[in-house]
Structures are given as structure tokens and as C-alpha cells.
């Protein structure tokens, strides 16, 4: 069973914690989404440096991030295995029916790296922003997008309830 610890807020009083919740939501979601398009080693290096800087500024223990990654280890393994087995290319290992290709292994590692960065930026938002701040920030963003006061409040309430009760379930 996959367990991903999410929704935990750890207050450290860092500079990342002090950033406006709306700005954090937009920034970390944009970083998580854009990490799904990383391609070459230079891209991964830039995101690694960026996440390391955010990690150091957040003052949250590394074990919090690693426990989240540990929770998705089977997903990452499945990505590598399926990409290795079902991507055509130069055969690295041939066991008859099972063929592992170089391109498949490379694709699996790239896909896993993308997922890892998306999860790291997403969990950084969760660890550095309280659920109440996330829901009010989300409401503020929706109001700025012109959804109206009532609709934004309802969606913000739904987000708040989700952030509160999903970790309990």
C-alpha cells in the first residue's frame, strides 16, 4: 500500500514560511508542473539547485521530504520497470520474452526524476504553509481570477475540508 504523508505543516519560522500563501501556491504549483517537462541533465541540475535552495531556506528536516519519497518508491520503481521493458531500442538485457532497452531505462529514470521533483515541490508547499493559509490563499487566487466572492469561498471551504480530513482518513 502506498502511503504519502501529505498535509503536514511544520512551522520553523523560516523565510519560506513567511512568503504570502498565494505566491507560494502559484510558485510551487508552477515548479511542480514544469518539472514534468524536464529533459536533459542540465534541466535536472537547475531544478536540483533550485529545490536545494528552497529546502535550505525552509529549515524543514530532510527526513520529512525523504519520508514522502519513500511513500512513492513503488510508483517510481513501476515507472522504471515499465519504461525499461516496453520502450523499443538497443537491447541491454535479453531474457527471451523480457527485453530491457537502454532507451527504456533512460526514459524510466527521466520519468522518475520528473515525478520526484514534482512531489518535492508539492510537499514543500504542504510543509511550509498551513492548511488554513493554503485555503485562504487559494480563495484569494480564485477571486483575482474573477470567480466571484461566493464561488471562491465555496471552493476555498472545500479545499480546507479536503486538506483537513484527507490526512486523517
Give the pLDDT confidence of 108-148 residue by residue, as tens digits: 999 999 999 999 998 998 889 888 888 888 888 888 887 77
The whole-number pLDDT of residue 4 equals 47
Look at residue 27 and tell me whether its pLDDT is greater than 90. Answer: yes
pLDDT, one tens digit per residue, over 67-101 is: 888 988 999 999 999 998 888 888 887 887 888 88
Local structure of 5: helix, strand or coil: coil
User: Whole-prediction pTM value?
Assistant: 0.82
Burial of 50 (0-12, 13-18, 19+ CB in 10 A): middle
Higher pLDDT, 107 or 146: 107
Q: Angle at CA 64, nearest 5°, toward 63 and 66?
A: 60
The whole-number pLDDT of residue 165 equals 62
Long-range contacts, stretch 34-39, CB < 8 angstroms, 24+ apart: 35/114, 35/117, 35/118, 35/121, 36/114, 36/115, 36/118, 37/114, 38/110, 38/113, 38/114, 38/117, 39/110
Distance CA 61, CA 71 (A): 17
The whole-number pLDDT of residue 2 equals 45
Amino acid at each position: 500500500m502506498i502511503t504519502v504523508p501529505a498535509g503536514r505543516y511544520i512551522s520553523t519560522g523560516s523565510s519560506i514560511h513567511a512568503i504570502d500563501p498565494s505566491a507560494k501556491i502559484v510558485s510551487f504549483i508552477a515548479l511542480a508542473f514544469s518539472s514534468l517537462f524536464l529533459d536533459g541533465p542540465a534541466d535536472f541540475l537547475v531544478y536540483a539547485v533550485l529545490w536545494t535552495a528552497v529546502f535550505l531556506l525552509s529549515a524543514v528536516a530532510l527526513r520529512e521530504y525523504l519520508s514522502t519519497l519513500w511513500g512513492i518508491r513503488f510508483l517510481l520503481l513501476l515507472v522504471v520497470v515499465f519504461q525499461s521493458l516496453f520502450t523499443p531500442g538497443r537491447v541491454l538485457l535479453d531474457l527471451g520474452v523480457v527485453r530491457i532497452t537502454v532507451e527504456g531505462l533512460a526514459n524510466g529514470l527521466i520519468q522518475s526524476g520528473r515525478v520526484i521533483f514534482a512531489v518535492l515541490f508539492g510537499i514543500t508547499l504542504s510543509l511550509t504553509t498551513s492548511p488554513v493559509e493554503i485555503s485562504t490563499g487559494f480563495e484569494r487566487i480564485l477571486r483575482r481570477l474573477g470567480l466571484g466572492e461566493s464561488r471562491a469561498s465555496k471552493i476555498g471551504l472545500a479545499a480546507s475540508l479536503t486538506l483537513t480530513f484527507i490526512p486523517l482518513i
